Structure 1
Amino acid sequence: EGEEKRWLDGLKRKRKNSQCSVKSMSGYIPSYLEKDEPCVVCGDKATGYHYRCITCEGCKGFFRRTIQKNLHPSYSCKYDGCCIIDKITRNQCQLCRFKKCISVGMAMDLVLDDSKRVAKRRLIEENRERRKKEEMVKTLQNRPEPSSSEWELIRMVTEAHRHTNAQGSHWKQKRKFLPEDIGQSPVAPTSDGDKVDLEAFSEFTKIITPAITRVVDFAKKLPMFSELPCEDQIILLKGCCMEIMSLRAAVRYDPDSETLTLSGEMAVKREQLKNGGLGVVSDAIFDLGKSLAQFNLDDTEVALLQAVLLMSS
């Protein structure tokens, strides 16, 4: 792989130097491949360098399959190996097409078997992820320090969250688990044809109004929100209330018991939440909770996420 890369880089430089004047006349394409460049095997439109030659996808695949499955010993030609290979005739004679692949320089040793190809893809993906993480770290390291006014705003948003977040950091000690026999079997039909467990639904309705009130109180404590016209405040709250309540529940996902704690007091399992009236929305909240659990978000991070949801709804 390293040898092929060095060879390809050298070829790119040669092509760039030798064709600079042509590109300036016809318009530069930011790639080593010229526009509508033909496949060196059949003349079809090339897609890139494959096995050391500029070829189309068809000839690339033909050459790879031939080598991987060792098919070339079985190829034969009706016309003594004298066929002309082009876009129209390339599928009519496998032997002449393969001979053309070899004659133009396609390298058999660069064709990987299945295990090596999987390993190469895995390595490429790992390198891609590593580069992404390095770029993220670099971006964070170069991030400017917040100004004093920005720190003050962050403090205010964090305090607004803490004052309106039921049970605060003690939710695990104060939560009560919804009995397991509640919410396991939906029985009552709803207007849209679904069924709901009435007992679980009743429990959830007891906490929904206080939860909404706390979201409204959170919003009112933010200066950027309270300065808006009343009509705009109502529109924003209608658009974000469910999202903020879902986020507040999601960050209280407990992997050990596989529960979410609603409104800081009621721990429920996925099926209980689903059968209690939330349906498929419960899956989204639980999945979000499982994803966020690995980040161990603090109050400030959760508060800022809520502020973003509020002001962008």
Structure 2
Amino acid sequence: MATNLDRPQTCAICHGKAYGYNYDVVSCNACKMFFRRANVEGIGENCKSGGGCYDGDDFKKDRPRCRACRYRKCIALGMQHKSTDSDASPSPGPDTHPRQQAKKSMIVAVVQKPLVTQAHIDSRLIQQMLVLHHTRREVYLTINICEDPSFLDLVLEGSNLSKYKRPQPIEWEKTERKLKPWGSLGVLLIVEIVKAMSFYEELLLSDRVILLKNVAFKSHHLSIAFDSFMAKKGRVLAPNGEEMFPDQLFQIAECYDIIMDLLTSPMQPLLELNLTENEYLLLNMIMICNPALSGLSPSGQEILSKEQQAYAKLLLQVCMMRDPREGPARYGKILAVIEKLERQKDVTHRVVHTLRRKWKPDFHFSGVLTEACRLDSDRLPYMKTEI
């Protein structure tokens, strides 16, 4: 009777016929010897195609064309080192029967180790970011608070997500803000999302304030722009699908122009790039983990630099998998979106002054937006506290 070892099978690595195999993965003798030799000699070369030199597009099904990717595929599919008892046990004595010696030399021991590849790590990072993204979108629909904290207040407080999930009945027309502050509420929500990230607890309190003050505003604008982009809208809309500003403001020519600039400019690069969800998630994390912020401690710079490098490397891999030839150029264009979001601070400043001149002289500008846009009470008159 023929056994499984007698029947030809397909090698999981090179897809050739495999009559003999081991390592818990169907592999031909050539791939088996390659894997053993690679473990001894080491694979020092890197893939020139960024880990994408395959006949097709599927890492598991297609055949790699370089030694580095071939070895990486062996590891990813579960090939492991095996050793015999004879390697570890002392040499047999003269009284040992030859048949017993032969039997011992044939025993194979497999050391089972948890298989964690770079692909698993990358997948876990993406899933964590995706969960936070969905949390932000869900809470943004319900958040409705009338508080006006500073970034220092937010750092000293615990998580506010549970509070944000319970909307308060507020008639915004009767407050000094006159309209629901989607912008400041979105910034407050981004702060809570950043506070939920693993690296945040490693930062000093002073570094946390600096980080949130510099990245929450830009992250908010990128996030709401991507939300509207995915909804196939031409400009940024509120999470409930309505306009960010009252209809009466669109009737004032000067207000209309500046508001449309604020709502359309962050979406333009996303439309041009046709940004994917994974690219957005990674870009947002690269923007948040900025080690070049002025005033950060050396430890804060080191923590954020390590985080940013990990997300930047993953973004480059995503771009290379999408198009190996145009991957580096696309990677650069995606990173350029961060600089384009800088102008949102100036546009927001102009929006506030335009609304005060053309609509409400005492229009309220929240504390977090004042800090994020680096504006003070001397440059922003009529600053009042929330009632």
Q: TM-score normalised to the size of structure 2?
A: 0.31
- Whose strand fraction is larger, Structure 1's or Structure 2's? 1
- Whose helix fraction is larger, Structure 1's or Structure 2's? 1
